[in-house]
């Protein structure tokens, strides 16, 4: 699979200086963690789950989570699990090559061997499991993933979700995150990425962020995200890829504040209608949050609506300017020093910018590098036209 593969070859040649790389379930986990992009959640009890997965994959979704936790009513979990297993078996048997990276979000560790056993010879359709409410006491989840991996020979990966009150409460946060880091380090080969459950973190304070605010405007949760990155997202070899929290809004309603998207870039790219569509669908707030996710060290994002995918992927593409800077930094990192950027608008300092440059090159491998003069607006417009 490849990001933006649904665009025709001529479009990709015009939009990209470096094309996104191909990847599959067997690719380097370091690449897969970044290539997750917009990870779309779907309730496990969706009547036509297999068909829905195929439809979304055809429109550019490269990772999905079949959710048995919050998305399914308590009384329906057993039925939903059996339904999801049947749909995933059909997907593997009939459409394996068309499927994205697939994960199941479970409620309890015991569901992991149950689902793998239920899938049987079709278990290879899974890339792993999402582990909810993850704390230092969640080792049973990781053990279950490791055991399933050993029993089947499949490379099943875990994505723990940091969303418990212990993490968001200030008096317990440092100890909770340190303990989680120790646990994850013991299972490093089984962990693909760490996810953040901002909705649950907000619930610890009875907060639901407004559609005109980003999660970074909700200060109690923003401070927790900062500490999660501080402890679990370091580039010294101890950290993991950490994905951005979900954006909840997708339908129009009355607005109090002005839209967050400036008009000028859209006018310059002859995309006024696209801007209006993004504002109408509340995607302007999502775009603002995506920029802040990147600035905070997060990669990719959990999404609950297909309309969010194109924005996440457009903003994941490495700009030609970023690529130029990263290439300059890595080209001089061995000898050190400072030099003006090729774009003539900043200083590139090789040693402190090296970790950023390495992350940028990895993102470029997954999402490509835009051609000079191509912006995220052009990428959004191309995706909208192809949808």
Which segments are annotated as binding site for Mg(2+)? Answer: 200
Output b/e per residue, 203-234; b: 16+ Cβ within 10 A.
Answer: ebeeeebebbebbbebeebbebbebbbebbbe
Q: Which helix (H) or strand (E) holds 16?
A: strand 16-18
Q: Is the dihedral of CA 176, 181, 187, 191 positive or negative?
A: positive
Give the integer Cα–Cα distance in Å for 335 and 192. Answer: 33
Token pair in block for residue 190: 């089984």
User: Residues forming the annotated binding site?
Assistant: 200
Number of other CB atoms surrounding residue 47 within 10 Å: 8
**Of 115, 117, 97, 98, residue with least CA distance to 106:** 115
Collapse the DSSP code of 318 into the 3-class scheme (helix H, G, I; strand E, B; otherwise coil) and give the result: strand
φ and ψ of 195, to 5 deg:
-105, 155
Give the integer Cα–Cα distance in Å for 143 and 162. Answer: 18
Token pair in block for residue 271: 């995309």
Output b/e per residue, 79-111; b: 16+ Cβ within 10 A.
Answer: ebbebbbebbbebbeeeeeebbbbbbbbbebeb
φ and ψ of 349, to 5 deg:
-105, 115
Q: Secondary structure of 344-385 in the HEC alphabet? A: CCCEEEHHHHHHHHHHHHHHHHHHCEECCCCCHHHHHHHHHH
- Do residues 68 and 106 make contact, with C-beta atoms less than 8 angstroms apart? yes
Burial of 283 (0-12, 13-18, 19+ CB in 10 A): buried
């Amino acid at each position: 699979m490849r990001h933006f593969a649904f665009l025709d070859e001529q479009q990709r040649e015009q939009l990209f200086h470096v094309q996104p790389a191909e990847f599959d379930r067997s690719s380097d986990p370091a690449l897969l963690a970044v290539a997750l992009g917009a990870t779309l959640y779907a309730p496990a009890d969706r009547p036509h789950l297999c068909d829905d997965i195929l439809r979304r994959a055809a429109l550019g979704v490269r990772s999905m989570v079949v959710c048995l936790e919050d998305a399914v009513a308590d009384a329906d979990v057993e039925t939903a699990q059996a339904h999801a297993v049947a749909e995933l078996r059909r997907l593997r048997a009939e459409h394996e090559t068309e499927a994205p990276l697939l994960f199941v979000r479970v409620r309890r560790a015991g569901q992991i061997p149950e689902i793998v056993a239920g899938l049987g010879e079709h278990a290879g359709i899974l890339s792993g499991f999402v582990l909810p409410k993850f704390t230092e006491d969640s080792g049973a989840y990781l053990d279950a993933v490791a055991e399933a991996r050993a029993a089947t020979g499949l490379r099943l990966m875990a994505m723990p979700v940091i969303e418990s009150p212990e993490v968001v409460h200030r008096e317990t946060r440092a100890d909770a995150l340190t303990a989680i880091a120790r646990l994850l380090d013991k299972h490093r080969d089984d962990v693909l990425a760490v996810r953040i459950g901002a909705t649950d973190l907000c619930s610890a304070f009875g907060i639901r962020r407004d559609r005109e605010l980003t999660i970074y405007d909700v200060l109690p949760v923003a401070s927790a995200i900062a500490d999660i990155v501080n402890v679990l997202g370091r580039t010294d070899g101890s950290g993991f890829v950490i994905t951005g929290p979900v954006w909840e809004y997708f339908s129009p309603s009355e607005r109090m504040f002005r839209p967050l998207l400036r008009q000028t870039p859209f006018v310059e790219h002859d995309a006024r209608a696209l801007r209006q569509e993004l504002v109408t669908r509340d995607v302007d707030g999502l775009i603002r949050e995506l920029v802040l996710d990147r600035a905070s060290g997060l990669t990719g994002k959990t999404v609950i609506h297909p309309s969010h995918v194109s924005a996440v992927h457009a903003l994941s593409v490495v700009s030609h300017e970023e690529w130029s800077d990263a290439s300059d930094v890595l080209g001089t990192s061995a000898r050190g020093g400072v030099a003006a950027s090729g774009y003539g608008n900043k200083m590139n300092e090789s040693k402190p910018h090296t970790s950023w440059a390495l992350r940028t090159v990895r993102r470029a491998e997954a999402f490509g590098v835009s051609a000079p003069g191509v912006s995220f607006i052009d990428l959004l417009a191309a995706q909208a036209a192809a949808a």
